[in-house]
Amino acid sequence: MKKLLSLVLALALALCAVSALAEDYVIATDTAFRPFEFADENGNMIGIDMDILAAVAEDQGFTYELRVLGWDASIAACQAGQADGMIAGASITDARKASGWIFSDGYYNAAQCMAVAAGSDIAGFADLKGKNVAVKIGTMSADYAESLSGEYGFTVVTMESSPDIYQAVIGGQAAACFDDAPIMADYIKSNGVPLKLVDGTANEGADYGFAVFSAEKQELVDKFNAGLANIKANGTYDAILAKYLGE
The residues that touch other proteins, with contacts defined as CB under 8 A, are: 72, 75-76, 79-80, 99-100, 134, 137-138, 142, 157-160, 164, 167-168, 170-173, 213
Quote the least distance from Cβ 158 to other proteins, whole Å.
6
Q: Residue 50 or 90: which CB sits closer to other proteins? A: 90
Quote the least distance from Cβ 170 to other proteins, whole Å.
7
Q: Residue 48 or 115: which CB sits closer to other proteins? A: 115
Q: Residue 58 or 164: which CB sits closer to other proteins? A: 164
Q: Residue 28 or 52: which CB sits closer to other proteins? A: 28
Quote the least distance from Cβ 108 to other proteins, whole Å.
22
Q: What is the 3-state secondary structure (H, E, C) of the chain?
A: CHHHHHHHHHHHHHHHHHHCCCCCEEEEECCCECCCEEECCCCCEECHHHHHHHHHHHHHCCCEEEEECCHHHHHHHHHHCCCCEEEEEEECCHHHHHCCCEEEEEEEEECEEEEEECCCCCCCHHHHCCCEEEEECCCHHHHHHHHHHHHHCCEEEEECCHHHHHHHHHCCCCCEEEEEHHHHHHHHHHHCCCEEECCCCCCCCEEEEEEECCHHHHHHHHHHHHHHHHHHHCCHHHHHHHHHHCC
Quote the least distance from Cβ 142 to other proteins, whole Å.
8
Quote the least distance from Cβ 247 to other proteins, whole Å.
32
Q: Residue 157 or 226: which CB sits closer to other proteins? A: 157
